[in-house]
Amino acid sequence: MNIPRCEHPNPQFERENTVCLNGAWEFEFDFGNSRPADEMAAKEKFDKEITVPFCPESELSGIGYKDFIPAVWYRRTFDIPAGLTGRVFLHFGAVDFRTAVYINGKEAGVHEGGYTSFAFDITPFVKEGENTVIVNAADDTRSPLQATGKQSLWTYSRGCHYTRTTGIWQSVWLEFTPESYIENFRIYPDAANSSVVISAKVCGKGEFTASASYEGKPMGSFTKNAAGEISGEIKLAETYLWEVGCGRLYDLELTFGGDRVKSYFGLRDIALDGCKFLINGKSVFQRLVLDQGFYPDGIYTAPSKEALAKDIELSMAAGFNGARLHEKVFEPLFLYYCDKAGYLAWGEYPNWGLDHSDPKVTDAFVREWTEELERDFNHPSIVGWCPFNETWDYEGRQQRNQLLETVYKVTKALDKTRPCIDTSGNYHVITDIYDTHDYEQSVDVFKKRYDDFAAGGELYDPNNTPRYSHFTGGLFFISEYGGIRWSMTDKGEEAWGYGNDPKTPEEYIERYRGLTDTLLDNEKMFGFCYTQLYDVEQEQNGVYTYDRGVKFDPAIFREINSRKAKIED
């Protein structure tokens, strides 16, 4: 049987002793969100079968049900070999939204949040031979306290809201460890001094070793006795910098007693200097594109690991050097391909769907946001964090500024190595970088706005928001622009995009060039982000089509995007 997506889901924290649990699971809808676990455990057979890790809304799941789904149930068996010693962990890449897991009829753990990875130590619940796991996922997309990103709050997709995702949508796997094991670790590269610090948390006592290599050649190591937490520095024998377009990655092996973890790191530093964003001391103009992480057949889940890598290849072919990973927490394997390619990424959180005026949002938001920060901290491709996007006022109530301030301060406390944009587009409260979203389609109007700004004039505010803080200097970029509609389908008026349609391919390219040249020529901007890489369902403003087909020769975009910017060294 061909088991989908059975590669290791996280090359930054990889153990060999794992078992993939993707593939066929029993499945059942719970439209009343009312079925008790013991009743489901007692059922001889669930109503349906689903292919994990694809959500039931997707065609790849074998279900393809696209209306609202309040709750779902999954069940399958797995084997534990005889004589096994140590610990057994059950991992979930992501499940939307509230997940309860039962092993052999007993509750093993509960997790809330639809986007981050989690694991339960199921050692006390398993036995030798066959075991049964049941998963219940409840999902209230329309709750103002549940982040949903671009998932539609209406029955069907419309505008820039798309098909929903319920339940398991990333890989599920078992992991076996010794009784003493490595719990987590952080990597702190120091490009200027060609060294790296490894800080780890371990369970138990023993000897901890961190060894770095590059293309098989040893680069250095350290060994210390460890209990609880351990930290050490490796002075690298040779320097290979992680740079844009050149993801030179060092391999890293961590051992603790009988535990062995494979990982990697990139040697790169980030600094902000006036209007410049520096990577390893060099001003880098960020030619970003909006990537929303949707797939026609898998919705939130790529059909294969090759599809993940292909999106980065398509982006780079069009002359982009990175992406805003927009309104979604992307899976670690995608970030691995970013790391390998030297492809810049901004980590976001899918804050749409939340009532930003409600104090109760703080608890729900911070819990999952900190999980994302911890999981993705070690990726060299991630050059900044953006927890919120377009925090519009909610049903007449203004956003709660304390929420944005709290999340910004939590982010900086957990990660001092990267800048944080408190909320992209609006409304800024406290931020390292100021940005705006401007979908003006007239090149002449767009150019005048930002030429005037470069000449010392005030920054144009597309949202006209005098009650919020305004730009007073420092780093700035247009983090959403363009969105030029060009439909290759027969959707007609349903094909959504920004502004009036270009009448000819030549007019489209002329508009794209004019808008982009304006930003490349502005010495007060360190980058741009074009909307968007590919169409998503009815939103038809991608550089590529939804199935990643070509609209225009990518070389045209590459020629426009790759021109040297004024702010670059």
3-state secondary structure of 489: coil
Structure tokens at 44: 């001889």
Q: Which CATH number fits domain 284-561: 3.20.20.80, 1.10.167.10, 3.80.30.20, 1.10.10.60?
A: 3.20.20.80
Q: Is the peptide bond before 398 cis (omega within 30 degrees of 0)?
A: no
Range scoring the smallest mean pLDDT among 128-132, 343-347, 392-396, 401-405: 392-396
pLDDT at 490: 62
Give the CA distances from residue 180 to residues 43, 205, 455, in Å, rounded to whole numbers and listed in that order.
38, 7, 61
232, pLDDT greater than 70: yes
Place 465 in a pLDDT band, splitting at 50, 70 and 90. low
Q: How far apart are CA 354 and CA 404, in angstroms?
A: 13
Percent of the chain with pLDDT over 90: 90
Beta-bridge partners for 515: none
pLDDT per residue as tens digits for the range 286-327: 999 999 999 999 999 999 999 999 999 999 999 999 999 999
For residue 27, give the H/E element and its range.
Answer: strand 23-29
From the list 368, 377, 318, 309, the residue with the least C-alpha distance to 347 is 377
Contact 93, 117 (CB under 8 A): yes
For residue 469, give the H/E element and its range.
Answer: none
pLDDT at 285: 97
Place 491 in a pLDDT band, splitting at 50, 70 and 90. low
Half-sphere CA count of 218, side-chain side, radius 13 A? 5
Q: Is 181-238+245-271 in the same CATH topology as 23-170?
A: no
Place 463 in a pLDDT band, splitting at 50, 70 and 90. confident
Range scoring the smallest mean pLDDT among 118-127, 174-183, 490-499: 490-499
Q: How far apart are CA 322 and CA 343, in angstroms?
A: 5
pLDDT at 1: 63
Contact 92, 99 (CB under 8 A): yes
Whole-prediction pTM: 0.96
Amino acid (one-letter) located at 313:
E
pLDDT at 489: 79
Q: Specify the higher pLDDT residue, 467 or 379.
A: 379
Q: What is the mean pLDDT of residues 347-354?
A: 96
Place 461 in a pLDDT band, splitting at 50, 70 and 90. confident
pLDDT at 186: 98
Q: What is the mean pLDDT of residues 525-545?
A: 97
Structure tokens at 108: 């093993």
The listed range with the strongest mean pLDDT (22-26, 141-145, 473-477) is: 22-26
Chain centre to alpha carbon of residue 165: 15
Percent of the chain with pLDDT over 70: 98
Contact 408, 429 (CB under 8 A): yes
Domain ranges of the chain: 23-170, 181-238+245-271, 284-561
Token pair 């949903």 is found at: 148
Place 160 in a pLDDT band, splitting at 50, 70 and 90. very high
pLDDT at 114: 97
Contact 223, 357 (CB under 8 A): no
DSSP labels, 39-75? HHHH-SS-SEEEEETS-TTSTTTT----S--SEEEEE
Q: How far apart are CA 242 and CA 339, in angstroms?
A: 9
Contact 194, 236 (CB under 8 A): yes
Check residue 496 and report its DSSP letter.
Answer: B
Q: 181-238+245-271: what CATH class?
A: mainly beta
Chain centre to alpha carbon of residue 1: 30
Angle of helix 305-317 versus helix 554-561 axis, rounded to 10: 60
What's the maximum distance between 2 C-alpha atoms anywhere in the chain? Answer: 74
DSSP labels, 131-180? EEEEEEEE--TT-TTS--TTB-SSSS-BTTBB----EE-S-EEEEEE-SS
Token pair 């979930």 is found at: 92
Token pair 């901890």 is found at: 208
- In 303-349, which residue ranges form alpha helices assigned H by DSSP? 305-317, 332-341
Contact 441, 500 (CB under 8 A): yes
Q: 23-170: what CATH class?
A: mainly beta
Amino acid (one-letter) located at 82:
A
Angle at 329 between CA 326 and CA 332, to 5 degrees: 120
Chain centre to alpha carbon of residue 382: 10
Q: How far apart are CA 509 and CA 555, in angstroms?
A: 12
